[in-house]
Structure 1
Amino acid sequence: MPRPSPVVLVLIGIASVQGGAGIAKTLFDDVTPTTIVWLRLVTSALVLVAIARPSLRGRSRRDLLVVVGYGASLGLMNWAIYQSFQRIPLGIAVTIEFIGPLTLAVLGSRRLADLRWVALAGVGVVLLGLERTALDLVGVLYALLAGAMWASYILLAGSLGRRSQGLDGLALGSVVATVLLTPALLVDVVVHDAGDGLADPRILLLGAAVGLLSSVIPYSCELVALRTIAPAVFGILMSLEPAAAALAGLLVLGETLSAVQWLAVGFVIAASIGATRRRGTLADPVPD
């Protein structure tokens, strides 16, 4: 079988994850973001474990540490960005979140001149802050936390892909993420009566759909793509995330951005492309 194009895989993942995020936000009036994230993660964990049937045998201590680190970054990234989605528009949240992978790309360049791309992204974020509609500060901080975890995810996903076969590592990482988020879900059940949502078939069905769209499909695509694509190229392709999120917000939620906000999104996208394009070469495939 021919290898799927890593570029196509990443683009499929982008469209899927933002569509799933749009659907998830429609449920926030009925259940908390933590509940939706947990449903998303547990769905992906069950599906991936059933498909991959991963085993811990033969894995070194280093391998297991990578799995745990990957699962922790995956869980915290999803939890933080959904908390942000509850407070600010989808496109703006992902634009701010994207500062994480952008910073990773600039740090990897070792070229002082590339700091100008950080400055350009900073201008974009400032424009968001100066817009007439004041942004919720807590939502912005959650988006920044998600961005830091996104950068960690990129690094650990590449390492995980090289240390595991098929979807084994992703399945184990999803289990770790689900386990780590379970205490937060239990708090929601006690404090916010989230148990009612977990008993609603509609919420369970849509939560499972979000899990497939926002976890199983995109993370599987990205994990496979990162085996054969340089992190810099991955960063360039992921530059489309803010625009994809804004489009999903418009189509699914009716969230409209002003001209200034679209300009800010454009600045962040341009900064990411500029920071990574000079290092954009495909890596040799990892041997099977």
Structure 2
Amino acid sequence: MSSSRASSFIPLLAIFGSVTFLGLGTSWAKHTLFPLVGAEGTTAVRVGFSALLLLLLWRPWRWRLTRGDLRAIACYGAALGLMNLTFYLSLQTLPFGVAVAIEFAGPLAVAVLSSRRALDFVWVLLAVAGLGLLLPLGHDVSTLDPLGVAYSLVAAVCWATYILFGKRVGHLHAGLSVSLGLTVAALVVLPVGLAHAGMALWSWPVLAVGLGVAAISSAVPISLEMVALKRLPPQAFGIMISMEPAVAAVLALGLLDERLSITQWAAIGLIVMASVGCAASARTARRADRRGGTDSGASAPTLAP
């Protein structure tokens, strides 16, 4: 029993680790690589090195795939590459919090549209309320760069697509799907990065930092996300990933001495409540399905996208 209870929190721990590494790596990339190669070059270096690292680690050529699996991986990887590219492009002209808030429309839309029970909407509302308190949504919309907003909206659509196609390849080994997905993503973003940054992309400082950023902000988080996707329905993943701004705020407090207001701490509490409640709800749904004889295996999702 204790082992079963512990395993039910694996998705929560995986997503927590994912957003922590992602926040650290993205901050490092924006501070160090943006001035050297821009958003396009940063995306190319980050995704390219991530793909290389995981190809060497998992050696996906050892597995055989069906044509359907290859199509799903291609869509998953293309969505992943475009999500990274458009989000980094939005950071050039939008405040970080605003860009994240807009991009979060993607996973939250997946959570709402794929929900089957009234209780799931409670967690959605808690997550939305927490994000509304935590993120700087009070900006005058007229002052926001229209192109930056458009990039964030495209990133939101890509994030939703990434979640859905991630479920389609969830029956595959996580190392296989992630390594091949990142390879497709690299093929999408590398031409854009090379066209923008040119030979600067091959300088030793860019390559050295890019390798570190790739390991911290892409390879590790995406692998952890696939662990979670194999164990959660899509709306549960969409809600739980909303821990990202909360984890970023805590990291900023510890590393940058950025003090939080009472309202911001309340926002963190709402988001954590949504994440934990969602994990418990998903576990209850899996138990109900097993009692009804509809569960096809330990790693099968409760709901199909």
Per the normalisation by structure 2, the TM-score is 0.76
Partner of 1:20: 25
Counterpart position of 2:187: 179
Q: Does 1:161 align with 2:170?
A: yes
Percent identical across equivalent pairs?
34
Paired residues for 1:62-211 under 5 Å: 62-109=68-115, 114=121, 117=125, 124=132, 128=136, 130-131=138-139, 134-162=143-171, 164-189=172-197, 194-196=198-200, 198-211=201-214
Look up the match of 1:285. Answer: 298
The residue identity in structure 2 corresponding to 1:280 is A
Q: Kindly tell me: are residues 233 and 129 of structure 1, through their superposed partners in 2, closer, same or farther at Cα, counting changes over 3 Å?
A: closer
Shift of 1:187: 2.0
Deviations, residues 89-124 of structure 1 (Å, cap 9, x unaligned) = 323321221111101111112579959949x66x94
CA apart distance, 1:172: 0.8
Instruction: Give the whole-Å Cα distance in 2 for the aligned partners of 1:237 and 1:179.
Output: 29
Q: Deviations over 1:40-60 (max 9, x none)?
A: 111111111111111286311
SS in 2 for 1:101: helix
Q: Distance in 1 between matches of 2:90 and 2:273?
A: 22
The aligned runs of 1:209-228 (5 Å cut-off) are 209-228=212-231
Q: Distance in 2 between the 1:254 and 1:89 partners? A: 19
Gap regions ≥5 residues in structure 2 = 1-5, 287-296, 301-305
8 A Cα contact 1:101 1:147, kept in partner = yes
Alpha carbons 2:111, 2:236 under 8 Å: kept: no
Contact 1:9 1:221 in 2 (8 A): yes
Which letter maps to 2:206? I
8 Å CA contact 2:110–2:235 kept in 1: the answer is no
Other structure's SS at 2:35 match: coil
Answer yes or no: is the 8 Å Cα contact 2:48–2:190 preserved in 1.
no
Aligned counterpart in structure 2 of residue 29 of structure 1, from 16, 32, 35: 35
Deviations 1:157-190 (A, max 9, x none): 122121x22401111111111111122123214x
Mapped partners of 1:112, 1:5: distance in 2: 24
Alpha-carbon spacing, 1:244–1:141, altered in 2? closer, same or farther (3 Å): farther
Alignment check: 8 A CA contact 1:71 1:177 kept? yes
Distance of aligned partners of 1:186 and 1:256 in 2 relative to their CA distance in 1, 3 Å threshold: farther
Q: State the AA in 2 paired with 1:195.
A: M
Equivalent position of 2:238 in the other structure: 235
Matched, 1:46 2:52: yes
d(CA) in 2 for partners of 1:52, 1:40: 18
* 1:9 counterpart residue number: 14
Give the superposition deviation at 1:266: 6.6
CA distance in 1, matches of 2:166, 2:31: 29
Q: Distance in 2 between matches of 1:86 and 1:253?
A: 21
Whole-Å Cα distance in 2 between the matches of residues 266 and 249 of structure 1?
Answer: 13
1:277 to 1:57, Cα distance in 2 relative to 1, 3 A:
closer
How far, CA to CA, are the matches of 1:130 and 1:66 in structure 2? Answer: 39
Contact 2:42 2:193 in 1 (8 A): no
- 1:275–1:88 Cα change, 3 Å: farther
Structure-2 separation of matches of 1:258 and 1:195 = 45
TM-score by length of 1: 0.80
Amino acid at match of 2:105: I
The one-letter amino acid paired with 1:100 is: G
SS at match of 2:37: coil
